[in-house]
Amino acid sequence: MLSRATHCRTVSRVLTRRALPAIDQRVAVSAVYVAALFMNVMDVTIVNVALPTLGRTFKVAPSSVDVVVISYMVSLAVFIPASGWIGDRFGGKRTLLIAVTVFTVASALCGAAGSLSQLVIFRILQGAGGGMIIPIGMAMMYRIFPAAERLRLASLIMIPTAFAPALGPVLGGLLVTDASWRWVFYVNLPVGVVAVVFGMLFVTDQRESRPGRFDLTGFALAGVGLGAVMYGVSEGPIRGWSSALIVGSVIAGVVLLVAMVLVELRVEHPMVDLRLLRDPMFRASNQMVLVGFTAFFGILYVVPLYYQDGRGLSALQSGLSTFPEAIGVMVGSQVVGRVLYPALGPRRLMAAGLCGVALCTGLMSLCGAHTSLWWMRLLMLGLGYSITHLMVSMQAAAFATISPEATGRGSMLFNANRQLGGAVGVALLSTVLSAVGPVRQVAGRVVPHLTAYHAAFLAAAGVAVGGAVLALATVRDDDAASTRPGRHVVAESDDPPVPLAVE
Residue by residue, DSSP assigns 98-120 as: HHHHHHHHHHHHHHT--SHHHHH
40 membership: H or E segment, kind and range: helix 25-57
| Whole-number Å distance between alpha carbons of 410 and 148 | 19
Q: Give 425's contacts (C-beta < 8 A, 6+ positions apart).
A: 293, 294, 295, 296, 297, 298, 299, 301, 460, 463
User: What is the reported pLDDT for 366?
Assistant: 94
The yes-or-no verdict on residue 88 having pLDDT over 70 is yes
Confidence of residue 3 (pLDDT cuts 50, 70, 90): low
Task: Mark residue 166 as left, alpha or beta (left: phi above 0; alpha: psi -120 to 50; beta: remaining).
Answer: alpha
Q: Provide mean pLDDT across the span 45-61.
A: 81
User: What is the reported pLDDT for 491?
Assistant: 42
| Whole-number Å distance between alpha carbons of 245 and 235 | 9
How far, rounded to the nearest angstrom, does the alpha carbon of residue 398 sit from its chain's CA centroid?
15
pLDDT greater at residue 295 or residue 407: 295
Q: Provide mean pLDDT across the span 5-18.
A: 49
The yes-or-no verdict on residue 184 having pLDDT over 80 is yes
User: What are the helix and strand counts (H, E) for the chain?
Assistant: 19, 2
Smallest CA-to-CA distance from 92 within 127, 128, 143 is with 143
Confidence of residue 497 (pLDDT cuts 50, 70, 90): very low
User: What is the reported pLDDT for 77?
Assistant: 84
User: What is the reported pLDDT for 7?
Assistant: 54
Q: pLDDT tens-digit profile of 333-351?
A: 889 988 999 999 999 999 9
Q: pLDDT tens-digit profile of 121-147?
A: 999 999 999 889 988 988 888 888 887
* Alpha helix (H) residue ranges in 265-372: 280-305, 315-322, 324-335, 341-344, 346-364
Domain 276-497 has CATH 1.20.1250.20: yes
The yes-or-no verdict on residue 1 having pLDDT over 80 is no
Q: Give 501's contacts (C-beta < 8 A, 6+ positions apart).
A: 205, 206, 207, 208, 209
Best CATH choice for the domain 23-214 from the list 1.10.1040.50, 1.20.1250.20, 3.40.1180.10, 1.25.40.340: 1.20.1250.20
User: What is the reported pLDDT for 24?
Assistant: 79
Q: pLDDT tens-digit profile of 200-221?
A: 999 887 666 566 788 889 889 9
Residue by residue, DSSP assigns 445-462 as: EEEE-HHHHHHHHHHHHH
| Whole-number Å distance between alpha carbons of 320 and 318 | 5
| Whole-number Å distance between alpha carbons of 235 and 473 | 33
Amino acid letter, 141: M
Q: Provide mean pLDDT across the span 416-440.
A: 86
Name the DSSP class of 81.
H
* 125-134, 304-313, 377-386, 471-480: segment of lowest average pLDDT: 304-313
User: What is the reported pLDDT for 209?
Assistant: 58
Of all residues in the chain, the percent with pLDDT exceeding 70 is 90
Q: Give 17's contacts (C-beta < 8 A, 6+ positions apart).
A: none
Q: Give 166's contacts (C-beta < 8 A, 6+ positions apart).
A: 45, 300, 319, 322, 323, 325, 326, 329, 384
pLDDT greater at residue 12 or residue 92: 92
Of all residues in the chain, the percent with pLDDT exceeding 90 is 36
Highest mean pLDDT among 81-90, 197-206, 251-260: 251-260
The yes-or-no verdict on residue 65 having pLDDT over 80 is no
User: What is the reported pLDDT for 487?
Assistant: 64
Q: pLDDT tens-digit profile of 25-52?
A: 888 888 898 889 888 888 877 887 787 7
| Whole-number Å distance between alpha carbons of 102 and 128 | 8
User: What is the reported pLDDT for 347?
Assistant: 95
| Whole-number Å distance between alpha carbons of 426 and 405 | 34
The CA radius of gyration of the chain, in Å to the nearest whole number, is 23
Torsion of CA 103, 104, 105, 111, to 10 degrees: 100
Q: Mapped to the 3 state alphabet, what secondary structure does 176-194 carry?
A: HHHCCCCHHHHCHHHHHHH
Strand pairing category for 439-442 and 445-448: antiparallel
For 194, counting Cβ atoms within 10 Å of its Cβ (0-12 exposed, 13-18 middle, 19+ buried), the class is middle
**Three-state DSSP class for 215?**
coil
Burial 61-72 (b: 16+ CB within 10 A, else e): eeeebbbbbbbb
User: What is the reported pLDDT for 46?
Assistant: 84
* Mean pLDDT for all residues in the chain: 85
Smallest CA-to-CA distance from 455 within 330, 320, 355, 306 is with 306
| Whole-number Å distance between alpha carbons of 22 and 33 | 18
Contact between 173 and 313 under an 8 Å Cβ cutoff? The reply is: no
The yes-or-no verdict on residue 291 having pLDDT over 60 is yes
The yes-or-no verdict on residue 22 having pLDDT over 80 is no
The yes-or-no verdict on residue 198 having pLDDT over 70 is yes
Q: Hey, how many other C-beta atoms are within 10 angstroms of the C-beta on 251?
A: 13
User: What is the reported pLDDT for 20?
Assistant: 62
Contact between 471 and 354 under an 8 Å Cβ cutoff? The reply is: yes
Where does the chain hold its CATH 1.20.1250.20 domain(s)? 23-214, 276-497
Name the DSSP class of 308.
I
Report in angstroms the alpha-carbon separations of 35 from 5, 40, 97, 106, 458.
33, 9, 12, 17, 34
51 membership: H or E segment, kind and range: helix 25-57
Confidence of residue 495 (pLDDT cuts 50, 70, 90): very low
Smallest CA-to-CA distance from 361 within 446, 271, 282, 464 is with 464
